[in-house]
Amino acid sequence: MVEAMITLLTPVQTRCQSLQRGATAVLGFPQVEQVAWEPPSGSPVACGGKPSRSAGLTATRWLINRVSTPNSCTDAINRVSTPKIMKILFLDQSGKPGGAELCLIDIAKPYRDRSLVGLFADGPFRTLLQQHHIPVEVLTNQPIEVRKQSNLLQAIGSLGQLAPLLTKVIKIAIKYDLIYANTQKALVIGALASFITRRPLVYHLHDILSKEHFSQINLRVAVNLANHFASLVIANSQASQQAFVQAGGHPKLTAIVYNGFEPKNYQTCESNIRQLQQQLGLEGKFIVGHFSRLAPWKGQHILISAIAQCPPEVTAILVGDALFGEQDYVQQLHQQVAALGLEHRVKFLGFRSDIPQLMAVCDLVAHTSTSAEPFGRVIVEAMLCGKPVVATKAGGAMELVEHGINGFLVTPGEPEELAQVINTCLQQAEITATIASNARTSASQRFDVTAINDSIAKLLASKFSKYRTYAQATENRTTEDTEDTEE
Ligand code: UDP
Ligand code: GLC
């Protein structure tokens, strides 16, 4: 499908210049100033680049006839003057607050005066963005039917469904300098919008693009769109970056940036901990916390099996809900708990927004993903709370945890091994506390949100030199202010 799409889009470029001035009218888009940016190498939109294919199909014409096409790249570059502050259109497909969405809150926050987050679904994530004073607009209320495991037919079938959304994104994107796609469906829409509006595209890759997680067609769509249309792919871990490259992604496009966290948000006072313990009826228990949406690959069933192999004071709290329709799995988990007679030792707390407080109540935090976790926010959050963490030995988790130094690693899908670690932590409280303390110190340094946002700002500034990023602008203002005061 990607090849088809690229074939569809490539001949457009040959006609680009003649169309550039003419096509504004159809949907009444205003004529906009062209953005100067370096087109991705091999991109069908690269200035002066030759089209690699030659077919023109209806869909291409549909797109071209409906959008504003700006002036040529050369004209634009000639008009470059003093750097402006970058305005970013962030796109995310979800209305629910998964890890990628929570990460986006931190990334978008420094740009909130001049940016917009466009969502492809309404939900609590919109409310969260509003609470953080980040401008947000829900761009469609029609769910996009493609899923991670969708086949070619389903993917093609969704194209018609995407057309109104794409039109809307294009209308908005021309008011911004950069499109920042935070999820896969956002990449699809963002890539097409980037091509049509000539706004550069950044793709924040939060997934491990492997067959374990995605259908072949989804993998090819993501990798090809990123290769052809993105100027920068920000991977959330080495594991995600490597999977992208293995799936055919251009290594030169990529940069690795971990999620950032505000360490002070993960401190809870003793009295609150005791109060919460009481409310949960868990005083005197050894509490193992699991903080993830309920989904088979997050492996809550592994933790339940492990609890059955631990002494009776060991209790688990499962924090999180089925965010993406995994109701069957939720039912299976309840059945497993009943079958093992663990009703009093496994508590389902549902989705919560008091994660740091709940983590503070735990004696150990377990991360049990059965396939490679791209990054694993909960692992870092547990470390910042000063709690020992046991994670599965795969993907991004291995970049976060060093076994025996700042946490524990176990083989994915092995409840016996997990039970052994739980028992060790139960028996060797002192060593475990030292490990947890090491974790807190190193995590506060490695994942500090200010430093992480700074690296994103620098990446954007280096790629799109016409612009100052908001962070840089603020930094300069601060320096200027200081200098003024000193005078
Ligand atoms: N989380 C939450 N409430 C819950 C369960 C989880 O706010 O009830 C948060 C958790 O603190 C973490 C995020 O959801 O920040 C999950 O991100 P992670 O990267 O661990 O996994 P994902 O679900 O994105 O794959
Ligand atoms: C995705 C990944 C998760 C990662 C999060 C933030 O949701 O599944 O591992 O921590 O994005 O990057």
Residues 7 and 142 in one domain: yes
Among the three residues 221, 237, 256, which one is the final residue of a domain in this structure? 256
Same domain, 198 and 140: yes
Task: Assess contact for 194 and 200: CB atoms under 8 A.
Answer: yes
As beta bridge partners, residue 316 has: 288, 346
Q: Is 292 in the pocket of ligand 1 (CB under 6 A)?
A: yes
Atom of ligand 2 nearest to the CA of 376: 10
pLDDT in tens, 461-486: 999 987 777 666 666 554 443 333 33
Q: Does one domain contain both 280 and 246? A: no
Ligand 2 centre from 224 Cα, in Å? 21
Cβ of 202 less than 6 Å from ligand 1: no
Range of the domain at 363: 263-446
Rounded to whole angstroms, how far apart are CA atoms 11 and 233?
25
Residue 29 CB less than 6 A away from ligand 1:
no
Ligand that lies nearest to the alpha carbon of residue 107, given by its number in the listed order: 2
Q: pLDDT (tens digit, 9 = 90+) per residue, 234-291? A: 999 999 999 999 999 999 999 999 999 999 999 999 999 999 999 999 999 999 999 9
* 193 shares its domain with 322: no
Cα(201) to ligand 1 centroid in Å equals: 26
- From the centroid of its chain, how far is CA 90? 11
Closest-lying ligand 2 atom to the alpha carbon of residue 259: 12
Same domain (yes/no): 204, 312: no
**Whole-number pLDDT of residue 154:** 63
Q: Residue 388 has what pLDDT?
A: 98
The domain tally of the chain equals: 2
340 and 365 together in one domain: yes
CA distance 257 to 454: 10
User: Global pTM?
Assistant: 0.83
Return d(Cα 121, Cα 82) in angstroms, integer: 37
pLDDT at 206: 98
Q: Does 101 contact ligand 2 (Cβ within 6 A)?
A: no
Q: State the virtual CA torsion across 332, 333, 334, 336 in degrees, nearest 10.
A: 80
Question: Which of 377, 379, 381, 385 for a ligand 1 pocket mutation test, highest count of atoms within 8 Å of Cβ?
Answer: 377
Please tell me whether residues 230 and 280 are part of one structural domain.
no
- Please tell me the distance from the alpha carbon of residue 209 to that of residue 255, in angstroms, as a whole number: 16
Q: Which numbered atom of ligand 2 lies nearest the CA of 396?
A: 9
Are 82 and 218 contained in the same domain? Answer: yes
Tell me if 100 CB under 6 Å of ligand 2.
yes
> Is residue 267 one of the residues assigned to a domain?
yes
Q: Point out the residues of the chain with pLDDT beneath 70.
A: 1-82, 145-159, 470-487
- Looking at residue 365, which CATH number applies to its domain? 3.40.50.2000
Instruction: Assess whether the C-beta atom of 376 lies below 6 angstroms from ligand 1.
Output: yes
> 459 lies in a domain?
no
